[in-house]
A and B are shown apart, each in its own frame.
Chain A
């Protein structure tokens, strides 16, 4: 793994008077897939939102060597961090194709080639390209959300519980696609998940998040065999 692409040090964040993250440290190397595992309410979504500047935060966030602690969300996207939010965040009144065009908003070139590329990867979207995103099924919307995020050619993809509400077969598909994309393009991925089994299969490194603090970290292989992790997150 090369130098660290994303470095987070002492990150505090929350909503109004309620602090959810109590100073977490984490990093994502170039081309790395990192998974943050945690139960409901542990602060997984808050972590993602704090990294991409959607909520007030304290602490250091550095991306590709630049301090982005005070950078606005849209500028962070322009710097190369794409975020697939929980609940997918697609533009439901826009067609599938327009959603992809919005994804390419930060680029100055014509995005048609990439649109075809991702429609081929996520082939279920291809037949629906002129359909409004709001009429897609949950699985299709998740595909669209990921494709939309990839349209800006990010160096780092933040994925917030992409498995939420999807049928198991689709979840498998989606994780495979994420792993392939990481292998083929070298896009680093920071993934938060409750679905530990599948996430650990594609991840290189893992953090465990409990009530706003990182309680353990290690490479995915050793975590899979860690008794505490197995009991808490894998259920066997």
Chain B
């Protein structure tokens, strides 16, 4: 039981990070129908921004907040200057452009900030050796609880935005029928830019948290996480926010359970392969994921 709880607690925290990145993927997908391969790298760049600010005497939480604003701008500009013009010519090319953006941003971070080794990043949460709760013999570190709380707050805010505000209504309308949205007076271009910006800002929360848990920033910090987050988004159905949260958490727990209970077969080194198996299984057996909308349409 103690072992189970330990894997559960650890899994929830990595799962919360997957969920944060997956939420960004879902927001973009609902908006423009694209898989943003650069979602993880945008989060990485944002984490670098937060690191740079915090190493210049900005308090760490404020630094992450500013990095979210920076990410919003980065996402919005990416949509307006890269995704939309390319998408008007070829949707396939958008995927290629997003992969290019992944590689470009990955190379840009060390270049822009002139760093070659991982740079130390302060912690967002209490991180002393004694900062943990003991539940059923297992330890649940405060920083891991903090990660989970961050995810739940972000998810709740997103839910309110989409369900209770006019902007959210416009975003849902564009997601449902992009061609008709302008006929209701909705500025589609602006809504899409906001969608990409919002996705990147949510990603920046994820980036800040990853840096905080690692204790440093590094250009490679989001690569493996991005793959697991993609698997989570797929498992959740790609167009469902709640799906991204549930699937992200579930995937994190699953990975840790598999790695923990099968240390010789899977172990920490191979636990990322769990997400690849899940991508495969979802595509084969349930392409619309667990929460995805199977399109109901009568004509």
Contact = CB atoms under 8 A, between A and B. Distances in A.
Contacts of A229: none
B170 A134 contact: no
Nearest to A165: B299
A85 B170 contact: no
A152 B182 contact: no
Nearest to A158: B183
Nearest to B30: A93
Point out which of B173, B175, B179, B183 has the most chain A C-beta atoms below 10 A from its C-beta.
B183
A94 B180 CA distance: 13
Contacts of A92: 176-177, 295-297
Nearest to A136: B298
Nearest to A137: B298
Interface string A95-134: 0001001110110000000000000000000000000101
A122 B24 CA distance: 39
Contacts of A137: 298
B281 interface: no
Interface stretch (B184-192, B248-256, B268-276): B184-192
A105 B172 CA distance: 12
B162 to A, nearest CB: 11
B295 A105 contact: no
A105 B298 contact: no
A66 interface: no
Interface in B142-183: 166, 169-170, 172-173, 175-177, 179-183
A143 to B, nearest CB: 14
Contacts of A82: 183
Interface stretch (A71-79, A168-176, A188-196, A215-223): A71-79
Interface in A50-97: 52, 54, 72-74, 77-78, 82-83, 85, 89-94
B173 A134 contact: no
Nearest to B190: A74
B175 A106 contact: no
B183 A73 contact: yes
A105 B186 CA distance: 7
B186 A91 contact: no
Nearest to B163: A98
A138 interface: yes
A90 B180 contact: yes
A44 interface: no
B185 A54 contact: no
A215 B245 CA distance: 60
A58 B298 CA distance: 37
Contact of B183 (A83, A93, A94, A138): A83
Contacts of A132: 296
B243 to A, nearest CB: 14
A134 B297 CA distance: 5
A205 interface: no
B293 interface: yes
A74 B185 contact: yes
A91 B182 CA distance: 12
A138 B297 CA distance: 10
A40 interface: no
Contact of A135 (B170, B179, B185, B298): B298
A82 B185 CA distance: 9
Given A54-B182, A78-B185, A90 B177 contact: yes
A93 B184 contact: no
Given A94-B173, A102-B170, A77 B185 contact: yes
Contacts of B182: 54, 72-74, 77
A129 B298 CA distance: 17
A98 B170 CA distance: 10
B295 A148 contact: no
A102 B186 contact: yes
10 contacts: A72-B182, A73-B183, A91-B173, A93-B295, A98-B172, A103-B184, A105-B170, A105-B173, A105-B184, A138-B298
Given A93-B293, A94-B176, 10 more contacts: A54-B182, A74-B182, A74-B186, A78-B185, A91-B173, A91-B177, A94-B172, A132-B296, A148-B184, A152-B184
Complex A-B, nearest 5 residue pairs according to Cβ-Cβ distance, in ascending order: A106-B185, A89-B180, A77-B185, A73-B182, A93-B176
